[in-house]
Every structure is written in structure tokens, then in C-alpha cells.
Amino acid sequence: MAFEYVWLKILQVLAAARRPMSVEELRSSLAGTGFRFDGRHLEEALGRLGSMGLVEALVLAGGGSIGSVTITPAGERKVRGVVRF
């Protein structure tokens, strides 16, 4: 599976935060770096990163929306590896 640049940016923002972030907080942090997400594109990207084991998402009771998201140790290694390259 190809790794999109925007996914790397999501991982970088989460790694810099060093704490779980709400989706809206993540969206505004990404917008501050020039990455704007419309609709459910951010949630879809987080789902793909989660399926690769790079982020963990806490889903709200109802199952429809993500409460918070954080980077996993595997995600941190991925960011460090790419940034070093």
C-alpha cells in the first residue's frame, strides 16, 4: 500500500502533540500547516492509518465518530524513519 504524504503530516502533528487529540483539534492543527480536510476525508485517513497500526482512535459510544486519536509507537518509528531519510 502506498503511503500518502498527508498521512505523514498527520503522524507528525500527532507525534509533536505527545498526547491524544480530538479530531477537530487535529483538523485545526493540520489546517495551520496548510492541510485542509473537507467532509470525512480526515476520518478516512485516520481509519487507514489505524488499520496499519500507526494510530489508535477512541470511538465515542454510538460508534459513529472518533473521540480522540493518538500515535502508536509504530507510528512514531515510521515518522522518525521518514524524517531521517
User: Domain count of the chain?
Assistant: 1
Q: What is the pLDDT of residues 3-17, one digit of tens each?
A: 688 889 999 999 999
Q: Are 70 and 21 in contact (CB under 8 A)?
A: yes
Query: How sure is the predictor about 85, in pLDDT bands with cuts at 50, 70 and 90?
Result: very low
pLDDT above 70 covers a percentage of the chain that reads: 87
| Res. 39: pLDDT tops 60 | yes
Average pLDDT over every residue of 71-80: 91
- Tell me which residue of 31, 26, 27 sits closest to 70, measured CA to CA: 26
| Res. 83: pLDDT tops 50 | yes
Tell me the sheet residues that pair with 57: 69
> Is-above-0.75 flag for pTM?
yes
Query: Domain range for residue 69?
Result: 5-84
CATH number of the structural domain spanning residue 44: 1.10.10.10
Mean pLDDT of the chain: 85
